[in-house]
Amino acid sequence: MEKPLILVTNDDSILAPGIRALISVMMEIGDVVVVAPDKPQSAMGHAITINDTIFINKISDENALIPEYSCSGTPVDCVKLAVNEILHRKPDLCVSGINHGSNSSINVIYSGTMSAAVEAGIEGIPAIGFSLLDHDWNADFESIKSFVRTITLQVIKNGLTEGVVLNVNFPKLKEKDIKGIKVCRQAKAMWIEQFDKRKSPQGKDYYWLSGQFVNQDKGEDTDEWALEHGYVSVVPVQFDLTAHHSIQQLNTWDLNE
């Protein structure tokens, strides 16, 4: 059988250890092509480049095991360019990550990692975003490789519902201490933002964004609960943002008077 064609991308840059770990697992499963940002693009959300040029550089030579391209644009740009300019056919799967840091709960909205996966989903490609709850550049990705492999193979075998991609987060634990995989819903949580106001040498005010993550959800079926209790969380995410449950109520308004 022909091996699946797998597109690998991320938001931490093509040099990040997380994407290196993801590439190593994907090479065991299929034919891999890497298109990833040439610099960190965390928290870019679903940004695309429309007012500037985008450059693609092939960084692998003819002796490399897989083709790798660095992109000057955003994670979403990487997926768009891969599908439309680089690959000879639509990939069978897109995997994004492994992100250095959490993309659980509300973080999915801001995540460049997940936005790349969502863009693949919009293109009709089954997609998974992987994240590890460890911001350390030298985080232990070996402990989660077997779970990455399991989830990926299940997606290839079973497919995904149209319009759905997976948001997968891993607790910062050794493999032997991870209790298993839980399919969850996104926890209701938020960031309480704080801005550290400073002055430049020229006397101008500038700000560093910081904040506190607050989980407002006490449910035991959420990604935050799973991660806190030693499980890998898998949340199905849809890019149709319609609040279907609100349509009936809005139709009672006198909108056409």
Over 80: is that where the pLDDT of 62 sits?
A: no
Q: How far apart are CA 230 and CA 224, in angstroms?
A: 10
Number of domains in the chain: 1
Q: How far apart are CA 14 and CA 70, in angstroms?
A: 6
Residue 66 domain-assigned (yes or no): yes
DSSP 41: -
Q: How far is CA 66 from CA 80, 88, 158, 187, in A?
A: 19, 14, 26, 37
Task: List pLDDT tens digits, range 130-167.
Answer: 999 999 999 999 999 999 999 999 999 999 999 999 99
Task: List pLDDT tens digits, range 204-223.
Answer: 999 998 888 898 899 999 99
The predicted pLDDT at position 121 comes to: 97
Residue 224 domain-assigned (yes or no): yes
Residue 11 domain-assigned (yes or no): yes
Residue 175 domain-assigned (yes or no): yes
Residue 19 domain-assigned (yes or no): yes
Q: Are 146 and 175 in contact (CB under 8 A)?
A: yes
Q: How far apart are CA 253 and CA 257, in angstroms?
A: 10
Residue 13 domain-assigned (yes or no): yes
At 257, the pLDDT band (50, 70, 90 cuts) reads confident
Q: What share of the chain is helix, strand, coil (3-state, %, to 5)?
A: 25, 30, 45
The predicted pLDDT at position 71 comes to: 97
Q: How far apart are CA 95 and CA 156, in angstroms?
A: 12
- The domain of 42 spans 5-187+219-250
Find all residues with CB under 8 Å of 194, minimum gap 6, and list them: 209, 210, 211, 212
Nearest Cα neighbor of 8 from 16, 19, 17 is 19
Q: Are 221 and 228 in contact (CB under 8 A)?
A: no
Residue 59 domain-assigned (yes or no): yes
Nearest Cα neighbor of 191 from 83, 85, 111 is 111
Residue 214 domain-assigned (yes or no): no
Residue 64, domain CATH: 3.40.1210.10
The predicted pLDDT at position 1 comes to: 62
Task: List pLDDT tens digits, range 17-26.
Answer: 999 999 999 9
